[in-house]
Chains A and B, each alone.
Chain A
Amino acid sequence: MPAPIRLRELIRTIRTARTQAEEREMIQKECAAIRSSFREEDNTYRCRNVAKLLYMHMLGYPAHFGQLECLKLIASQKFTDKRIGYLGAMLLLDERQDVHLLMTNCIKNDLNHSTQYVQGLALCTLGCMGSSEMCRDLAGEVEKLLKTSNSYLRKKAALCAVHVIRKVPELMEMFLPATKNLLSEKNHGKEAELCGLLYPALVPQLVRILKNLIMSGYSPEHDVSGISDPFLQVRILRLLRILGRSDDDSSEAMNDILAQVATNTETSKNVGNAILYETVLTIMDIKSESGLRVLAINILGRFLLNNDKNIRYVALTSLLKTVQTDHNAVQRHRSTIVDCLKDLDVSIKRRAMELSFALVNGNNIRGMMKELLYFLDSCDPEFKADCASGVFLAAEKYAPSKRWHIDTIMRVLTTAGSYVRDDSVPNLIQLITNSVEMHAYTVQRLYKALLDDISQQPLVQVSSWCIGEYGDLLVSGQCEEEEPIQVTEDEVLDVLEGLLLSNLSTPVTRGYSLTAIMKLSTREILNRIKKVVSVYGSSIDVELQQRAVEYNALFKKYDHMRPALLERMPIMEKTASNGPTEIVQTNGETEPSVPDTKHPPLVTQPANQVRACDVWTYHCWGYICVNELHSGLLVIPPMTAYNKNGLKIEFTFERANPNPNIAVITIHATNTTEADMTEFVFQAAVPKTFQLQLLSPSSNIVPALNQGSITQIIRVLNPQKQQLRMRVKLTYTHKGLPVQDLAEVNNFPPQSWQ
């Protein structure tokens, strides 16, 4: 068999492929050749073949058949083989493969090899991808190597030990004695790495090493742009951070050196700033004195003015982390932070925005809001939702006056209206309701905004709601804050009707508009309103249709109640301080607590079923029990489902709310015999297109001689409006004997399922 082609040759060939398919073909051919070469157990070319396989693996092709070959290479005596073998192991094997464990013995041997580079390979592989079992098995060898006089091996062993400890924390004890001696070495070793996990007592030593580093002379080997061994400096600072984190004494021991590094480090290049950054992180994390913390924040403030955007980014991120704890210090840099809002880089803008919101307080609210609103106008769409929410929150907390608050909300709604979150709408409505003296001003401004633009749904929804509530104020032209505008009722109705008809309006918005139109019906434009409402009685949108039908009924049968029902809403009490969903949920239930003796309490709906607009709809009805209304429209006669052997079962019906597809059947079981029927169980089954829910019965004894009854509720979901049929199974004990019966119930009244 001819010698397998060389690696470079293969790479060159594959790169000439012009299409993916061509490449795939070449690779498959080569893989086949490699596979047969493996089968022949060819030692000479194994290394070359595995190298080729690794190249193909990098291109994304499967290479698992080379895993065992890597092991064979590792076991070989040739250094070249070992090098490629270990590389292959690191690329193709991981701790999930069983083959992985087979390496353990090879690595063990190589850790004791006479050549340091072989030992190095083994340490590197173990430290990179050793599993917990391997680490456990080989920890002893690594520990031995930690004590060698060979610095090349010692540093590798140290990092390998870090990996071992990460994988198997219990082994930490084993390494303690060896590491104690490491730090006393006078070199730039990475042994410091290991020590960080271990001793607070090391702080003075670390401090000394760091001091030497910054004071010591020029060391060209380790130098980066004139700073001696920045990597080591950063490492030591990180260690100091870990050691000082919860330890007062250690923190105190570090104060001086931290201040020294902070003031002496050159900041003209990235490297110096990297060290300063690490210093700042350390200062913020340990229990440092306040002077040092202020120093750290000032460094971050200087970073903000740096030309390098990486540095600005890092500063903003760090300030964001410290803004809660060192609020005042960060406030001093507020103007710089606000300037960063205008930065071109997206990540910087986002962080500046978050930080700005964190810095808003009662004193700077007006200035900050101006900047933030300007930012909202000009920023990318991805920011608008978050910015709008942030503005609302800040305005709510710190608004200097109600008018300012409403103006701010208006500004947000008009500039970023379509990006505002859905849950802000009920929030805003609640806010507006509570600012009683601003109602006229608000409704006027919202009306004017509607005239300009009806595309932004949250704005339109809030406006419709307000016009519905405060339409009288709008028409009567009473506005103290601004020049009142002249609006007639017909014009208002034109606008609202326009919303209903517009293609830009979502179904939710249409619901708001219809309800708003209805609320205006307490005035003279009654006929027109009646017409609009009846048109929507046959709308395709189920929600609109339902509302229109209900409002129609209000005109016809309950006209005497209409004015009372459509009265202005009472002020809503804000319940919990947390998010908007609270308000939506509790509104259905807190209503009864608002004392209003004229009306009976509202039927409470299960909170999570009620959407905001539903609540408004039911408010609009006022306090009529909705179920009553429905049963008024739709009276379903009861029926006898079963009557045999003295057991009679009657069904009574209700159509559930808000889902008209659910029929609620209450069964009443009575017993005309002289003996009780005990252990009574009622079971029902329905055809596949229905769904049945059986709630618990009132009891399981049907008393004799009609002295009482068992009631049980069945809920039937009938989305396809098919004829309701049911099969029932009854089991009970009567006069000591078990009785069981099956029956079909078919004579359901049509109103129960149509």
Chain B
Amino acid sequence: MMRFLLLFSRQGKLRLQKWFTPIPEREKKKIVRDMTTMVLARKPRSCNFLHWKDLKIVYKRYASLYFCCGLDAEENELIALEMLHRYVELLDKYFGNVCELDIIFNFEKAYFILDEFLLGGEIQETSKQVVSRAIEASDMLQEVRCCPVGTDLRSVFPSS
């Protein structure tokens, strides 16, 4: 399973942090510091995999953002790269030509998309369409000002 997923800029500013195991706050800060230091220090054409404590770290740079995840030692690093790529595609589809600013100003949306893609550190849904439709439907639900108790919204928003 994935232990954590971090997004940070080239200056080391954190843009998103998702933790899949319970870790004390101080330790989270330390991990973030370690990751940013390690990844930002990498030379441009090095391989995308690192070893840190007993975890495999997979990172990839997309424009000005680094996507960095920590995996258990038995995980497949190559497929993890694909996972990061899929997440970027989902963000791209949602925001239309996504850039770092989109994620800064809409960080909560980035989290919502991630929560439709991964759950408990594992991939939840492999279809891009299904994820996008779920997010769209949830967004529409937000438009409804109040849901009186008992409203069956399945009639309004059919499940996919």
* Interface of A toward B, CB cutoff 8 Å: 8, 11-12, 15, 51, 54-55, 58-60, 77-80, 83-84, 87, 91, 94-96, 114-117, 120, 123-124, 127-129, 131, 150-152, 155-156, 159-160, 162-163, 188, 190, 193, 221-222, 224, 229-232, 234-235, 238, 270-271, 273-275, 277-278, 281, 309-314, 344-348
Contacts and interface: CB of A to CB of B under 8 A. Distances in A.
A309 to B, nearest CB: 4
B159 A150 contact: yes
4 closest residue pairs by CB, A with B: A274-B78, A221-B127, A159-B119, A274-B79
A95 B22 contact: yes
Contacts of A278: 76, 79
B55 interface: no
11 contacts: A58-B17, A59-B14, A80-B142, A84-B108, A94-B23, A116-B154, A116-B159, A230-B79, A230-B82, A234-B79, A309-B45
Contact of B81 (A160, A221, A270): A270
A685 to B, nearest CB: 46
B47 interface: yes
A161 to B, nearest CB: 9
B124 interface: yes
B160 interface: yes
Dominant SS among interface residues on chain A: helix
A115 B153 CA distance: 6
Q: Name the residue in A12, A60, A159 with the highest tally of chain B Cβ atoms < 10 Å from its Cβ.
A: A159
Contacts of A273: 78
Nearest to A155: B124
A281 B29 CA distance: 34
A231 B50 CA distance: 22
A270 B141 CA distance: 38
A724 to B, nearest CB: 51
B46 A152 contact: no
A347 B120 contact: no
Given A117-B141, A159-B120, A160-B120, A274 B76 contact: yes
A311 B78 CA distance: 8
Contacts, number: 171
B152 A270 contact: no
A11 B104 contact: yes
Nearest to A121: B115
Given A230-B82, A234-B76, A159 B124 contact: yes
B98 interface: no
Contacts of B83: 231
B11 interface: no
A270 B82 contact: yes
Given A87-B111, A188-B127, A281 B76 contact: yes
Interface string B111-137: 110010001101111111110001001
Contacts of B147: 77-79, 115
Given A94-B23, A221-B127, A313-B47, A162 B122 contact: yes
B96 interface: no
Interface in B142-159: 142, 144-154, 157, 159
Contacts of A115: 141, 147, 153-154, 157
Contact of B134 (A114, A131, A152): A152
Contact of A114 (B16, B130, B146, B153): B153
Contacts of B130: 152, 221
B94 interface: no
Contacts of A274: 76, 78-79, 81-82
A221 B150 contact: no
Contact of A314 (B46, B77, B144, B154): B77
A58 B14 contact: yes
A128 B138 contact: no
A723 B7 CA distance: 67
Interface in B15-43: 15-17, 19-20, 22-24, 29
Contact of A188 (B19, B49, B126, B144): B126
B95 interface: no
Contacts of A345: 45-47
A156 B74 CA distance: 23
A310 B105 contact: no
